[in-house]
Chains A and B, each alone.
Chain A
């Protein structure tokens, strides 16, 4: 019995880590007031970048993780910069980056796949979903990261600055916060985590690639983040639920004898339900979203 449970946990450790990092990164970005509708596009792009880098470097995992984090962070900084410096719609900017992300993902992944096809025996990724001690390290890491993030956000000055920028950027500015710098930082850090999430999703879980790999999972991370009130520790809970759902989709399908399509729908239905449950209960008041999330920030005039 315990054995089955442990192998269950071990089996989903890769997806769990991927979702957790992506959701945490997303939460950090949004806490600074930047609405992140680009998440799915950048997640898909990260998946492709991690894959491509692994192919080109003969499966150098570290290089892939690093490169993906950097690429994603750059996009994060772009988003944060644009919406803070110009009085433009966060939603439109994020969405456009989503489309770009999808497009770029294909442009990055396709040549790499052709290359992989021509190299015999090139396997991608590093498996952790097995009954060996690595998965324990993953779970421990998640808890540690969560605690670290919680400390950063709630107990340090940079955390207060991030939250201030998310609550009321004009007031934050008057209080002495450089809102642009703070959002750039949150954007870089947050998107780096999203990128890592995508990279881990690809390298530790899917381990193959075709056009469209990863699409949709960014939105799951979005829903995970929202339904946990963007709280670093609660995120652990919600990402584990979704990780289980996604990893064991085929098992559930077999167990309850439902079609592939219905099984594929489940995570999305669950995501919508999770968000509805969160917003419909008092949870939403205790873990309220940042007041100025997505609001266009504009002073009568601004200087660099």
Chain B
């Protein structure tokens, strides 16, 4: 209660306050159509510190970081680096200032090699010189970070963790003095995160600066010196990690809603008959090798099966195979007593399956079309001739039940906010899922409160309507919150199955990375 009222800036500097901050933001404001992303941000970052920027999805941290990296320019305000005002109009400008960003999805390009990716940011490197000249240097720096990769490897062959490490190597080779880690390690399990923590600490101790952007409080408190909390585009306050309680931080992050934000396990389902059975499934990935290697799994009505795993361990391919969006090499899938291994997505759509894909804006909705069309396109809701009357009444029902903010159902979805677009998708698929809901990262882009509400809605549908749910998520908090059974995937195989009430976090995390 107190923290939400208090716009009081609780600041504390761990180094002498007379020292010039390496980065200073003054009055930074950024607007996008219809929304103020950043409102008069004032912030000082000091050299040699690990400074966390904490805030839930939509709070503005990503926008702020993109401004620091030259991807956006502020509408108002100034940036000072080493006390001098600067203009950062492109990532190249940022790199020249010693600011390098590593984000949650690696920017390094799959089809290029490690050394090619790195050399692109090296200004001094001659345009026409052979790239292999840089190879020695890369190997040298990689060793200091603790990674062994052949620089002539094409990036698509690397694991997610390796890619992030390469990004760090790149940052160092570009002469980074400030590392912007934009949720870069948020989706790694603790064991992998610790590798990065070690490096981050070393980097800061040697005089580097790290700005860690995250929406997970433990990440901030584990490794940072200072935490600045953002909420709805404004700085709520800056506090030292030492001496500030988690409770205080939570209140700063969520304000009045902090009571709602709990990662407590949702009420358990009551599993009934098996509706989905996967038997020894083998599925190929995008590059030809097997992504799913002999997975067997059962999902029952009235239960949520959560698949935990680091990105890139086969969950995506498994989900796609279940939805028949990917061919099955070996094995069998049985849905509602029918062998669907050779059936199509269309069949599933007509038989009570709902699907929330990863990257929903890309695969789940069409932003150029309106809500009515986005509903009508799903075969579950209409056949050859469309009855717009029926679609409209369904649309109004969903708008009401999920509080979707839109001028009208005929407005193209692109004019809706990200959260509302997700609501369209989730509400539609929940309606379609009369027997089974299949999802991958269903709440990834949502702000915390909405994400939790969505999980509650899913769970209550599972319980009350005896629906089954198979949910894969890279967010372990989500898995623990919503599942009845937790399944751990690693390297395409299932390495652990636990009833959710008995699962131990450390054990699951360990299985995710071993």
Residues in chain A within 8 A of chain B (CB atoms): 152, 155-158, 160-161, 163-164, 167-168, 170-178, 285, 288, 291, 299-301, 303
Contact of A157 (CB < 8 Å), options: B71, B128, B170: B128
- A167, B112: Cβ atoms under 8 Å? yes
7 nearest A-B pairs in the assembled complex, by CB-CB distance: A176-B121, A160-B116, A171-B107, A158-B127, A174-B107, A175-B120, A167-B109
Q: A155 to chain B: which residues have CB within 8 Å?
A: 130-132
A167 to B241, CA, bound (A): 41
Q: B32 to chain A: which residues have CB within 8 Å?
A: 300
Q: B73 to chain A: which residues have CB within 8 Å?
A: 301, 303
A288 to B111, CA, bound (A): 10
Q: B117 to chain A: which residues have CB within 8 Å?
A: 160, 164, 175
Is B258 among interface residues, defined by CB-CB distance under 8 A? no
A285 to B287, CA, bound (A): 9
Contact of B128 (CB < 8 Å), options: A158, A288, A291: A158
- B120, A160: Cβ atoms under 8 Å? yes
Residues in chain B within 8 A of chain A (CB atoms): 32, 69, 71-73, 89-92, 95, 101, 107-112, 116-117, 119-123, 125-132, 170, 174, 288
- B109, A299: Cβ atoms under 8 Å? no
Contact of B91 (CB < 8 Å), options: A160, A167, A174: A174
Q: B129 to chain A: which residues have CB within 8 Å?
A: 156-157
A291 to B286, CA, bound (A): 14
Q: A156 to chain B: which residues have CB within 8 Å?
A: 127-131
Closest-CB distance, A260 to chain B (whole angstroms): 45
Contact of A174 (CB < 8 Å), options: B71, B110, B126, B131: B71
Contact of B120 (CB < 8 Å), options: A164, A299, A300, A301: A164
Q: B123 to chain A: which residues have CB within 8 Å?
A: 176
A160 to B128, CA, bound (A): 10
Can you give 29 contacting A-B residue pairs, CB < 8 Å?
A155-B131, A156-B127, A156-B129, A156-B130, A157-B125, A157-B126, A157-B128, A158-B127, A160-B112, A160-B116, A160-B119, A161-B120, A161-B127, A163-B111, A164-B109, A164-B116, A167-B109, A168-B109, A170-B107, A173-B90, A173-B91, A174-B69, A175-B91, A175-B108, A176-B120, A299-B71, A300-B32, A301-B73, A303-B90
- B90, A175: Cβ atoms under 8 Å? no
- A172, B120: Cβ atoms under 8 Å? yes
Please report whether the interface of chain B is mostly helix, strand, loop or mixed according to DSSP.
Answer: loop
Residue of A nearest to B110 (CB): A167
Q: B109 to chain A: which residues have CB within 8 Å?
A: 163-164, 167-168, 171-172, 175
Residue of B nearest to A300 (CB): B72
Closest-CB distance, B112 to chain A (whole angstroms): 6
Closest-CB distance, A304 to chain B (whole angstroms): 9
A288 to B156, CA, bound (A): 14
Closest-CB distance, B163 to chain A (whole angstroms): 12
- B92, A176: Cβ atoms under 8 Å? yes
A168 to B107, CA, bound (A): 9
With known contacts A155-B130, A176-B95, A167–B111 Cβ distance under 8 A: yes
A178 to B89, CA, bound (A): 11
Q: A170 to chain B: which residues have CB within 8 Å?
A: 107
Closest-CB distance, B327 to chain A (whole angstroms): 16
Q: A163 to chain B: which residues have CB within 8 Å?
A: 109, 111-112, 116
